[in-house]
């Protein structure tokens, strides 16, 4: 069973997400939290696989909670729930260690699928949020040379994986494109994160864009 936590300062939202997730026979919502402090405490006290955090909560927001969870409960995958247009908050959450982002209008089937992906360490990235985040990042100015320096130690195979990761593909999709096993792709991504200093796949995707890998530079 996938053990999930739902954190939102609106009780109705928490209840709705719980009802959706518990329709899946492999997901159990074992904890709820009304703010970031409660969420971080629950992850420390319990064995949580996936934490769904509202990005903005009164009494301790999801961004602070993501940072605490990344530090104190690193096995927990953090997925932020956000509204469209909150790219600045998404950027802050990314820096805090969140590894996934979903829009609050995500459908039930997509939400369940996202939790399953997060539990496996796969990317959970709402396409509209990812696109806007990358556009915002690029238009604010990027340091291509610095990004290229960060990718210098990557092997050709790792650069290929990073390039495809930057397009938002899952491990299985990358494996299919490069004729590799899913395990090999996972190992490549782990080394990419270590060698480039990225905290998660989203940061790696931004780096791939900055380094011009998607344009073939």
pLDDT digits (tens, 9 = 90+) for 129-186: 665 665 555 555 556 888 889 999 999 999 999 999 888 787 888 999 999 998 999 8
Edge-first strand listing for the sheet containing 27-33: 27-33, 2-7, 50-54, 77-82, 100-103, 124-125
Domain-located, residue 204: yes
Q: Examine the domain organization and report whether 104 and 152 are in the same domain.
A: no
- Return d(Cα 125, Cα 30) in angstroms, integer: 24
Q: Report pLDDT digits (tens) over 89-140.
A: 766 777 777 778 888 888 899 899 889 988 987 767 766 666 566 555 555 5
Q: How many domains does the chain have?
A: 2
Q: Examine the domain organization and report whether 108 and 185 are in the same domain.
A: no
Q: Examine the domain organization and report whether 45 and 70 are in the same domain.
A: yes
Provide the pLDDT confidence category of residue 58 given band limits of 50, 70 and 90.
confident
Compute how many other C-beta atoms are within 10 angstroms of the C-beta atom of residue 178.
Answer: 16
Q: Examine the domain organization and report whether 44 and 91 are in the same domain.
A: yes
Domain-located, residue 8: yes
Residue 135 has a pLDDT of: 58
Q: Domain boundary at 126, 150, 170, which?
A: 126
Q: Examine the domain organization and report whether 153 and 116 are in the same domain.
A: no
Q: What share of the chain is helix, strand, coil (3-state, %, to 5)?
A: 55, 15, 30
Q: Examine the domain organization and report whether 118 and 193 are in the same domain.
A: no
pTM check: above 0.75: no
Q: The domain that contains 64 carries what CATH number?
A: 3.40.50.2300
Q: Domain boundary at 72, 101, 126, which?
A: 126
Residue 76 has a pLDDT of: 92
Q: Examine the domain organization and report whether 165 and 191 are in the same domain.
A: yes
**Domain extent at residue 207:** 142-215
Domain-located, residue 137: no
Provide the pLDDT confidence category of residue 87 given band limits of 50, 70 and 90.
low
Q: Examine the domain organization and report whether 192 and 104 are in the same domain.
A: no
Q: Examine the domain organization and report whether 61 and 113 are in the same domain.
A: yes
Q: Domain boundary at 97, 126, 155, which?
A: 126
- Return d(Cα 185, Cα 171) in angstroms, integer: 6
Q: Examine the domain organization and report whether 154 and 209 are in the same domain.
A: yes
Domain-located, residue 136: no
């Amino acid at each position: 069973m996938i053990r999930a936590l739902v954190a939102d300062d609106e009780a109705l939202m928490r209840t709705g997400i719980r009802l959706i997730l518990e329709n899946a026979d492999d997901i159990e919502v074992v904890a709820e939290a009304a703010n970031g402090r409660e969420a971080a405490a629950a992850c420390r006290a319990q064995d949580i696989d996936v934490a769904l955090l509202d990005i903005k909560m009164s009494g301790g927001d999801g961004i602070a909670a993501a940072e605490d969870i990344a530090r104190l409960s690193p096995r927990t995958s953090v997925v932020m729930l956000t509204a469209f247009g909150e790219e600045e908050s998404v950027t802050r959450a990314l820096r805090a260690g969140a590894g996934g982002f979903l829009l609050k209008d995500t459908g039930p089937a997509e939400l369940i699928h996202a939790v399953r992906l997060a539990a496996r360490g796969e990317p959970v990235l709402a396409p509209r949020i990812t696109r806007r985040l990358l556009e915002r990042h690029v238009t604010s100015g990027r340091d291509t040379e610095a990004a290229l320096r960060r990718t210098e130690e990557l092997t050709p195979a790792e650069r290929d994986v990073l390039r495809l990761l930057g397009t938002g593909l899952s491990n299985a999709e990358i494996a299919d494109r490069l004729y590799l096993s899913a395990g090999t792709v996972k190992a490549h991504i782990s080394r990419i994160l270590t060698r480039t200093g990225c905290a998660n796949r989203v940061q790696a995707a931004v780096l791939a864009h900055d380094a011009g890998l998607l344009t073939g530079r």
